[in-house]
Amino acid sequence: MGRRRACNAAGVQHGPVRGSTARRREVPALQRQTERKGGDSRVSSELRKLCVEDFPAKRERPPRRESAPDSNAESYEIVFGIAPCLLALTQGRRKVRKLLVKDGEASQRASVLKVCEEARRRGVQVHRVTKKDLDRMSSGRVHQGVCLQASPLSYLAENHGDHAPRTKDGNLPVWLVLEGIQDPMNLGAILRSAYFLGVDRVASGLRHSCPLSPVVSKASSGVMEVMGVYGYDSLEEMLRLKAVQGWQVVGTVGAEVEASQVPVSRCSDFRMTRPTLLLMGGEGEGLSRELLSLCRTLLTIPAGRDLFAGIESLNVSVAAGILLHSLLGGCL
């Protein structure tokens, strides 16, 4: 320890160093001490640092650089589940990098083989990995033995030239407009119902809304891969424009609605006579006052019993399914 303190004193240079011969004698002494103290990595490291600082010519070789991570991986995300992976491959809306399949008997299931065959048909690499790897990639969610590394999906921009009053089959068009849906599971369930019941477009505000993530795709059973979701910076502006074009703006409220200047009716009593925009608000808060002020009618779902406080409303995805079926049930 005494020898180490001496070296530290020399390192901080409390006193001037007289003559170059003294410095020349220090080098072999320090080097010999470094070799003798090889078992003590801490002391050796300190002494080696002093040598480097005092004698630049004797500097150690710089440490080898670690290989840089694949920068392309940052632009990809992990889609998981049979239906999302299969539809992501078949729809071609994503740039697919590789398919990862759980090794073992599970990979021989017909549903998994179908995904693998589709990947090979499209020139996508198929990799066999462990369940632990898939669990990690999907953050512990239900992946059903397959994950797909692919580019993310984004909200679509509206085509302002689309002013057609009717759909191809002659039915009045219906758009589902979502404000502030933040739960990806709810958004996925809404997309699944909207697709099944025949909604022509799903629109969402871009602020305070969840992104189109792999969780949304899984909750929608892959519908997100098929049905594009349009995003708007200003839902209010879009609704005003559609109202000028002859669309009716219909809002939704809970069963216990406060006094409103806008007519409120049961969803089962409402009949569409024009192209319709059905508005649904986020979990808990519902529609904002700005959007409620643009509605010409408000729809509500009547309860089948007296409800306790705190459970007097439906989950937003369940309510969306009931309301859409009420509007579109006659078209099915």
C-beta separation of 249 from 242 below 8 A: yes
Percent of residues, the chain, with pLDDT higher than 70 = 71
CATH number at 198 reads 3.40.1280.10
Q: What distances in angstroms separate CA 274 from CA 146, 158, 247, 264, 271, one per listed residue? A: 44, 20, 6, 18, 9
Six token digits for residue 330? 């006659």
Distance (Å, whole) CA 172 – CA 302: 25
Provide the whole-model pTM: 0.75
Six token digits for residue 147? 């994950």
Is residue 306 assigned to a domain?
Answer: yes
Instruction: Identify the sign of the CA torsion 144, 139, 215, 125.
Output: negative
C-beta separation of 215 from 185 below 8 A: yes
Q: Which residue has the higher pLDDT, 60 or 163?
A: 163
Predicted local distance difference test score (pLDDT) of residue 169 = 63
Q: Residue 55: pLDDT band by 50, 70, 90 thresholds?
A: very low
Is residue 268 assigned to a domain?
Answer: yes
Is residue 48 assigned to a domain?
Answer: no
Q: Is the pLDDT of residue 60 over 60?
A: no
Is residue 128 assigned to a domain?
Answer: yes
220 and 93 together in one domain: no
Pairing relationship of beta strands 248-252 and 146-150 according to DSSP bridges? unpaired
176-192 pLDDT, tens digit per residue, is: 999 999 999 999 999 99
125 and 185 together in one domain: no
318 and 180 together in one domain: yes
286-310 pLDDT, tens digit per residue, is: 999 999 999 999 999 998 888 888 7
213 and 293 together in one domain: yes
Choose the final residue of a domain: 85, 115, 150. 150
Six token digits for residue 159? 């085509």
CATH number at 97 reads 3.30.1330.30
141 and 229 together in one domain: no
281 and 321 together in one domain: yes
Is residue 227 assigned to a domain?
Answer: yes
Q: Is the pLDDT of residue 23 over 90?
A: no
SS3 state at 188: helix
Is residue 94 assigned to a domain?
Answer: yes
Q: Is the pLDDT of residue 136 over 90?
A: yes
296: left (phi over 0), alpha (psi -120 to 50) or beta: alpha
327 and 261 together in one domain: yes
Tell me the HSE value of 313 on the side-chain side, using a 13 A CA sphere.
Answer: 17
Residue 177 pairs in a beta bridge with 203, 279
91 and 132 together in one domain: yes
Is residue 160 assigned to a domain?
Answer: no
Residue 304 pairs in a beta bridge with none
Six token digits for residue 316? 């937003």
The rounded mean pLDDT for the chain is 81
Predicted local distance difference test score (pLDDT) of residue 124 = 97
Q: How many domains does the chain divide into? A: 2
Provide mean pLDDT across the span 73-82: 88
Rg of the chain in Å (alpha carbons) = 33
Q: Residue 325: pLDDT band by 50, 70, 90 thresholds?
A: very high
Q: Is the pLDDT of residue 50 over 90?
A: no
Predicted local distance difference test score (pLDDT) of residue 313 = 82
Percent of residues, the chain, with pLDDT higher than 90 = 61
Range of the domain at 262: 174-331
Choose the final residue of a domain: 150, 182, 215. 150
Predicted local distance difference test score (pLDDT) of residue 36 = 45
Choose the final residue of a domain: 100, 135, 150. 150
How many Å from the N-terminal Cα to the C-terminal Cα in the chain? 89
Predicted local distance difference test score (pLDDT) of residue 205 = 96
C-beta separation of 266 from 252 below 8 A: no
218 and 284 together in one domain: yes
User: Tokens 């669990």 map to which residue?
Assistant: 135
Six token digits for residue 17? 């160093």
288 and 223 together in one domain: yes
Is residue 238 assigned to a domain?
Answer: yes
Instruction: Identify the sign of the CA torsion 78, 137, 144, 191.
Output: negative
216-235 pLDDT, tens digit per residue, is: 999 999 999 999 999 999 99
Q: Which residue has the higher pLDDT, 285 or 192?
A: 192
178 and 145 together in one domain: no
SS3 state at 316: helix
Predicted local distance difference test score (pLDDT) of residue 331 = 56
105 and 242 together in one domain: no
Provide mean pLDDT across the span 45-49: 43
